[in-house]
Amino acid sequence: MRTPPPKPIYPLAFEALILGSLVIACALWLGAMGNFLGFLSAFGASVLIVFKIRNVSTRLTEAGVSQLTWRGRVHVSWSEITQVTRNPLSVTLSAAKGRLVVSVEEFADSAAAVAYIDSHLPSNLRSNASRC
């Protein structure tokens, strides 16, 4: 029996979304008064919120990985993954359907998230550390 997938940290992510929304509201108010920096900060906060939603929406299951994108929810099964790029804070999974960036810092135990992903990848894509 395999271990269950690691749990994402939702409260912290939703706090960031709420804070970003407040920044956007304040920035738009400043922008309405003719301040270009208000519009600029609203745009920056909007981009931050979009990336945070992508991170929060990531699901790791026995069937594969799914994530909310601009085109809707994309699901990629583990066997469809063709390339893996590992970074300290993320794992990028490439497949024919597209590329999913899994932000491991959004999980309660980032090492467990990386190990879970590695254990479900096709054998030719697993890292050398997990083969020992």
| Cα angle 63, 64, 70; round to 5 | 130
> Is 78 in contact with 64 (CB distance < 8 Å)?
yes
**Across 4-11, average pLDDT:** 61
What mean pLDDT is predicted for residues 35-48? 70
The helix (run of H) or strand (run of E) holding residue 93 is strand 90-95
67 pLDDT exceeds 70?
Answer: yes
Question: What number is the average pLDDT over the span 13-23?
Answer: 67
DSSP 3-state of 57: coil
70-114 pLDDT, tens per residue?
A: 778 889 999 999 999 998 889 999 999 888 899 888 788 888 888
Helices and strands (H, E) in the chain, number of each type: 3, 6
What is the Cα–Cα distance from 87 to 67, expressed in whole angstroms?
Answer: 18
Highest mean pLDDT: which of 10-14, 23-27, 99-103? Answer: 99-103
Residue 1, pLDDT > 50, answer: no
Find out whether 81 and 94 touch, Cβ atoms under 8 Å. yes
Domain-wise residue ranges, the chain:
8-56, 59-127
Number of C-beta neighbours around residue 88 at 10 A: 7
Of residues 83 and 50, more confidently modeled: 83
Checking if the pLDDT of 130 tops 50, the result is no
